[in-house]
Amino acid sequence: MTYSEKYMIAEYLANFFDRENRMFSLKAENKRQFFAWKRKARRKLKQLIGYYKFKRCSPQAKINEILEFSDFVRIHMEINTEPDVKMPFYVLKPKIRRDKYPVVIAAHGHSSGGKYAVAGRTDIPQIAEQIKHYNYDYGIQFVKEGFLVFCPDARGFGERQEKWAKGNILASSCLWLNNMAIPLGMTVTGMWTWDIHRLIDYIQTLDDVDKTKIGCLGLSGGGLQTLWASALDERIKCAVISGYMYGYKESLLEMCTNCSCNYVPHLYEYMDMGDIAALIAPRPLLIETGTKDPLNGKTGLKNVYPQISIIKRAYKILGSEKLFKHDVFEGEHRWHGKQAIPWVIKHLMQK
């Protein structure tokens, strides 16, 4: 059996992308128009990801384990994010005493074992390799700076792997979850966003937390989680998106073998990635981009800069240009941190 390129439709779909007018792209010219757009765009994005399908419940927080290390304590906990859904996470608490801690939610990406890489589980050989390769232990990097760090497992990862992924600690369950969720009007993106927002609900009940200083950050799929969670919730006061800011056409439509967690029905009809990030304005936002990151798409940084321009425009409209930074570093797909860590310290700890 043979096939012919003349019968393929990938190019047809790429051209279809170009014909869409991105109905909720940022077109505002002033603050009034920006905030009106922001309200409408958020409602639409929540509809697209199935956010309104999920059910609130009491977190019923439970501590499962407490381990002490030289300069921090690691607490294994779980909360309910929906009536039948539990989310495990680590809390990394510095031994530096504070009345109120600034908070960082450190979201993981793929090939991480979920929270294990972010929380520095070098005692697990596969995780130790990923930490070295991706500089993945940014949860540890922030607890050492004095932040109270929350490292959650996203649905489908770590302790939340579905049965089809069992046996490989680095595997995710995104494909199966999105296959089941989309016909029900839900998405993996929506699940992840909802869970981070419910984690914030819990964080805000804690006596030793500064509720006005909550940040969110992450690499790759952790960048996806940070992008959506921050765009849709003003309680996140500072964000770092690493290895996840580029034009959808090249990086997800054309690179269509990327993980299914990236795909939201009808999204390309409404917005590109930079438009979603613009919803974070005027809160402090830093984007990390590796010059050799293959996820940037076939044109590399040329596929990144147009999205950055959208974000810059939002911050300019609001007179907040100094609250946005783009760190372009020489390297591949990994957490950089060189500018990100001082950025978060500046905006969450030094005020």
Mind listing the pLDDT tens digit for each residue in 154-208? Answer: 999 999 999 998 889 999 999 999 999 999 999 999 999 999 999 999 999 999 9
User: Phi and psi for 127 in degrees, rounded to 5?
Assistant: -70, -40
Q: How far apart are CA 223 and CA 116, in angstroms?
A: 17
pTM above 0.85, yes or no: yes
Q: Look at residue 242 and tell me whether its pLDDT is greater than 90.
A: yes
- Domain 5-348: assigned CATH number: 3.40.50.1820
CB neighbour class for 18 (10 Å; exposed up to 12, middle 13-18, buried from 19): exposed
pLDDT computed for residue 351 by the predictor: 59
Half-sphere exposure of 246 (CA within 13 A, CB side): 30
For 292-299, what is the mean pLDDT? Answer: 97
- 122-138 tens-digit pLDDT: 999 999 999 999 999 99
Of 308, 312, 314, the residue nearest 296 (C-alpha): 308
Amino acid 171: pLDDT: 93
Q: Give the domain ranges of the chain.
A: 5-348
The helix (run of H) or strand (run of E) holding residue 126 is helix 125-134
CA–CA gap between residue 176 and residue 153 (Å, rounded): 17
Task: Identify the band that residue 62 occupies on the pLDDT scale cut at 50, 70 and 90.
Answer: very high
Q: Is the pLDDT of residue 254 over 80?
A: yes
Contacts of 6 (CB under 8 A, 6+ apart): none
- Binning pLDDT at 50, 70 and 90, where does residue 1 land? low
The pair phi, psi for residue 92, each rounded to 5°, is -105, 115
